[in-house]
Structure 1
C-alpha cells in the first residue's frame, strides 16, 4: 500500500540514515551486470527505491525491500506473476537477474537485512499526474475507463492462470482484512484514534467480518489481485499502460482492486462519474453483476480502514493527513453502507 493524496506521499520521517541506505545500494548493485553512473533515491514507503543510471544509457529500479513484509518465496512469487502478466500482454515489471542468475540479493541497511531486487525502468507519467493536471472532466472519465479495462485484463489473467508450484502470497479475505491479525495491522488499535474512535472501529470490524465471510470467495470474484492499483501505480507512455508496485499483491476480491482505484477521488464532486466510467471500462472486458457491484461501497470502507492500520504499523511515515482523511471517510460512510448490507439478503443476492 502506498501513500497518496490519496496517492501522494506525505513528508517522510526517515528513521535510519539515508547514508546507510545509499551505501547498501552501492554495495548490492554490484551483484547485477550493471555499470552505474548514478544511483538516486526516488521513493520510500514499503521499500527504499533507487533509480540506477548506467553507462550504456539504460535505467533500472533498485528496490531494497522492507524487512519482514514478505518472505523470499513470496517475493519470487511476485515476480512469477508479473512475468505471467507480461506474457498475457499486460505492462508489468520486468526483473533483471543477478550475475549469478538469482532473482534477489541480500544486503544490510544499518542493522536491518533486506532483499534487493532490480527491475527495468519504465518511462512515462503516472495516470494520477495526468488526471490531476487536467481540468477536463471527460478526459478524467476516459482515464478511469482505461483503468477499468486494465483491472479487468489483470483479473482475466489471474482467474485463468495455473499457479506454478511453490507459489505463495498472502490472502486479503475476511481474515486478512477484518480478522484478529489483519495483513495491514490492527487498525482499531491505532494510536491516532481516540478511545471512542477505537471502540467504533472495533465495532465496525465485528460487523464487516461476517459480511465479507458471507460474500464468499467465488472463483469469478476472488483470485490474485494487485491490491494497490490506484492511478498513481499506472505509468502512461503514449497508448501504453504499465502497472507498477506489486508489493501488496495477493489473493483477494476483485472489488478490492476497484475500490482502491476510485478511493483517491471519493470526495470529489465527480466521484460518481469516475466510478461509473471505471465500471464501464471494466465490464467491457469482464462481467460484473449488479449484485457484486453493490458491494463496492463496502470495499471502499474496508480500504479506508486498512489504510488506518497500514499507517499505524509504520511509525517512520508521517501520515497524519492521510490518516485523518481515511478515518473521516469511514466515519461518514461506513454506518449506512453496513446497515444496508446487513438488512439485505446478501447470500441470496450473490448466489
Structure 2
C-alpha cells in the first residue's frame, strides 16, 4: 500500500547506497536510473555484459525485518516455480537474498534486493486510457484468473520452517496491534466520524474473528494486487510489489483488486474478475458475499496508512477515501 513516488528527476540521496548494494550482486552495472523515490526506493540497472535489465530496491527500514523479507522472497520464488508471472528474484554473489547498506548522511540502514526487470505497462494506466468496456472487462477477467492461480499455489504450499510473515486476520486488521496504524486517530476525522469508525472497528473485529481459516480460503496472499501492481505486456499480466504480502483471506485479495473501481462499471468488472477466477479455481457465493466487508477493511487500512504518515499533506485523494469509507461504515452498521 503506497502512493506513487517521484521519478528520477528528484534529488537522490540514496544513490551512493544503491551503488554500494550493486557490488554485492553478480552483475556489472551500466548506469543507474532512479525509477521511484518513495518509502521504498527503486532503480533500473542494466548489466553491461548482456544488456539484461534489473530492478534494485532499497526497502524502507521499519516495515519488515530481514527474516520477513527473506520469507517474501521464498514465496515469490515458489510462485515463479509454479509458473505464475512474477519478477524473478536474483541472489547476491554469496547466496544471500539481500545486501545491507547504509545511506550516507543519515546513517539509515536498508536492505537492498535485486530482481529481473519486467517490461510492460501498469494495468491501472492501461485501464485509465481504455474507453472500450469489453477490453477493460477482459483485463479484469485476466486479473481474476491470475489471482486464482496465485491462491491455488498458496493454498497447498508448504513454506520453509523459518518462514515468517505478518497475519492480516482480525487482530492484524482491527486489533490492538493492527498492521496499518490506528485509522480512527487520523487528524482529518471529526469526533463523530471517529466514533463511527471505532464502532465499526469493533463490529469488524468480531465479524473477522468468526470467519473460518481453511487453507482453501486463507493462506499467503499478495494483499495489494490491484491494477497499480500488475504489468501488462502483450497479452499477459505480471504481478509486482509483494511488500504487503501476508497471511490472509483470499476474499481480501479479491476486494483489493476492485477497491479503486467505483460507479456503474464496478459490477461489470466484478463479474468479469469472478468469471476469470472461476475459470481456474472455485469460489463460493458465501465468500463473494464477504467482498463489501473487505472493501471496507481496505478503506480503513488506507486511512491508517495515511495516519502513519503525517508528513503527507492532506490530499483530495484522502478526502475521497474518507467519504467512501464513512458511507461503507454506515452501510455495514445497517447490515448487522
Which TM-score band (shorter chain)? over 0.9
Q: Distance between the aligned counterparts of 1:220 and 1:74, measured in 2?
A: 23
Q: 1:21 aligns with which of 9, 14, 18?
A: 14
Runs of 4+ aligned structure 1 residues displaced above 3 Å come to 315-319
Q: Distance between the aligned counterparts of 1:130 and 1:106, measured in 2?
A: 36
| Deviation string, structure 1 residues 276-322 (Cα, Å, up to 9, x no partner) | 11111111112111111111001001100000111221234456233
Comparing 330-339 and 58-67, the one that deviates more? 330-339
Q: Distance between the aligned counterparts of 2:102 and 2:188, measured in 1?
A: 31
Look up the match of 1:178.
Answer: 174
Look up the match of 2:36.
Answer: 43
Q: Distance between the aligned counterparts of 2:17 and 2:191, measured in 1?
A: 41
Displacement, 1:332? 1.6
If the length of structure 2 is used for normalisation, what is the TM-score?
A: 0.94
Look up the match of 2:289.
Answer: 294
Q: Distance between the aligned counterparts of 1:195 and 1:338, measured in 2?
A: 18
Residues 50, 316 of structure 1: alpha-carbon distance in 2 compared, 3 angstrom cutoff: farther
Unpaired runs of 5+ residues, structure 2, are none
8 Å Cα contact 1:83-1:93 kept in structure 2: no
Displacement, 1:11? 6.9
Higher relative contact order (CA 8 A, sep 6+): 1
8 Å Cα contact 1:79-1:95 kept in structure 2: yes
Q: Distance between the aligned counterparts of 1:129 and 1:211, measured in 2?
A: 35
Look up the match of 1:62.
Answer: 56
Q: Distance between the aligned counterparts of 1:287 and 1:216, measured in 2?
A: 17
Matches within 5 A, 1:123-134: 123-134=119-130
Displacement, 1:218? 2.6
| Deviation string, structure 1 residues 320-347 (Cα, Å, up to 9, x no partner) | 233222211111222223432x2xxxxx
Q: 2:304 aligns with which of 306, 309, 318?
A: 309
Q: 1:234 aligns with which of 223, 230, 233?
A: 230
Q: Distance between the aligned counterparts of 2:314 and 2:47, measured in 1?
A: 34
8 Å Cα contact 1:308-1:323 kept in structure 2: yes
Q: 1:120 aligns with which of 110, 113, 116?
A: 116
Residues 74, 143 of structure 1: alpha-carbon distance in 2 compared, 3 angstrom cutoff: same
Partner of 1:162, secondary structure, is coil
Look up the match of 2:271.
Answer: 276
Residues 225, 144 of structure 1: alpha-carbon distance in 2 compared, 3 angstrom cutoff: same
8 Å Cα contact 1:298-1:338 kept in structure 2: no
| Deviation string, structure 1 residues 14-59 (Cα, Å, up to 9, x no partner) | xxx9442112112221111222222122114441111112313111
Q: Distance between the aligned counterparts of 2:31 and 2:310, measured in 1?
A: 30
Residues 228, 157 of structure 1: alpha-carbon distance in 2 compared, 3 angstrom cutoff: same
| Deviation string, structure 1 residues 171-190 (Cα, Å, up to 9, x no partner) | 00000001112101111111
Q: Distance between the aligned counterparts of 1:158 and 1:316, measured in 2?
A: 36
Q: Distance between the aligned counterparts of 2:228 and 2:69, measured in 1?
A: 22
| Deviation string, structure 1 residues 120-146 (Cα, Å, up to 9, x no partner) | 101111211221111001111111111
**Two-structure CA RMSD over aligned residues (Å):** 1.7
Q: Distance between the aligned counterparts of 1:316 and 1:21, measured in 2?
A: 19
Partner of 2:31, secondary structure, is strand
Look up the match of 2:280.
Answer: 285
Partner of 1:196, secondary structure, is helix
Residues 281, 247 of structure 1: alpha-carbon distance in 2 compared, 3 angstrom cutoff: same
Residues 312, 65 of structure 1: alpha-carbon distance in 2 compared, 3 angstrom cutoff: same
